[in-house]
Structure 1
Amino acid sequence: MGASTVKEAWDTLQGEFQGTIKVRTVKLQKLRRDFENLKMKDNETVKSYYSRIKEIGNKMGVYGEIIYEKKIVEKILISCTEKYDAIISLIEETKDLETLSPIELMGSLEAYKRRRERNDENST
């Protein structure tokens, strides 16, 4: 409220909500570490795992670091649980990972999950 110019008001708001450059750098480093250490839990669905990845990616974006779709696809492919190994191998062999979007990948993983669940129900 005490700002006399728009720039001064903006700088005040930015400092209040994002912190100083040093604080932003520390927060971004923590988010990078969280992103790199992220792994899918055994009982977790691919949708919830993707949501966790996107949440961290969005937070990183707030601090100025953009996570590209290719990085998200790579992260999902290397950190899913073993039960997805078969479909991941197939995706890596048959799809162009340079152009594969996270949404396409999620669709393939979800379809695989549904197929496994259906097969499990039929066998019982």
Structure 2
Amino acid sequence: MSLKSAKSIWDYLKAECEGHERIRGIQVLNLIRDFEMQKVKETKTIKDYSERLVNIANRVRLLGSVFYESCIVEKMLVIVPEIFEATITTLENTKDLSKITFVELLNALKAQEQLRVMREGNSEEALFSKPQDEGKNKKKKEQEEW
């Protein structure tokens, strides 16, 4: 309230919102530590995990630090669950992993994840359809016997 000019008010708000250089540095270090500690839980999807990593990377960039896409790619390659080993191996054999983009990696992992979900869905349907058929056949046999 004591500030008179718009410039002085702007400078004050900018300093308060952005924080001092030292505080921003600490925030960046905390975000990078958080990035490094991220792990994939078996119940989470690739989309959820990648969104968490990208969110942290964007917050680091907003604080004025450089955060390369290759760091996100490396993290994804190292941390993904074993069920994605085939996809990672295929990428290693067909592409230069140092040049692969985050979008390429994400698309490959999502494709395998969707395929796995579809297969699991079909196997459940197959398991449930068999007992239902047996139950119908059993009822028919019982009716024929009467």
Q: TM-score, normalised by structure 2?
A: 0.75
Unaligned regions of 5+ residues in structure 1, if any?
none
1:22-37 matched pairs, under 5 angstroms? 22-37=22-37
Q: Counterparts of 1:18 and 1:112 in 2: how far apart (Å)?
A: 41
SS at the partner of 2:42? coil
Q: Residue 52 of structure 1 corresponds to which residue in structure 2? A: 52
Write the deviation string for residues 7-26 of structure 1: whole angstroms up to 9, x where unpaired.
x4443222111211121111
Question: Which ranges in structure 2 are unaligned for 5 or more consecutive residues?
Answer: 125-146
The answer to whether residue 13 in structure 2 is matched with residue 13 in structure 1 is yes
Give the C-alpha shift of residue 123 in structure 1.
Answer: 3.6
Give, in angstroms, the shift of residue 4 of structure 1: 3.4
The structure having more radius of gyration, on CA atoms, is 2
Aligned residue-pair number: 123
Shift of 1:29: 0.9
Aligned to 2:117: 117
Q: What corresponds to 1:41 in structure 2?
A: 41
2:120 partner letter = D
Higher mean displacement: 9-18 or 50-59: 9-18
> Percent identical across equivalent pairs?
36
Contact 1:70–1:97 (CA under 8 A) maintained in structure 2 = no
Counterpart residue number, 1:92: 92
Structure 2 residue aligned with 1:61 = 61
Per the TM alignment, residue 3 of structure 1 is displaced from its structure 2 partner at its CA by 5.4
Q: Aligned partners of 1:118, 1:21: CA distance in 2, in Å?
A: 50
Output the aligned Cα RMSD.
1.8
CA distance in 2, matches of 1:34, 1:16: 24
- Residues of 2 paired with 1:112 and 1:63: CA distance? 35
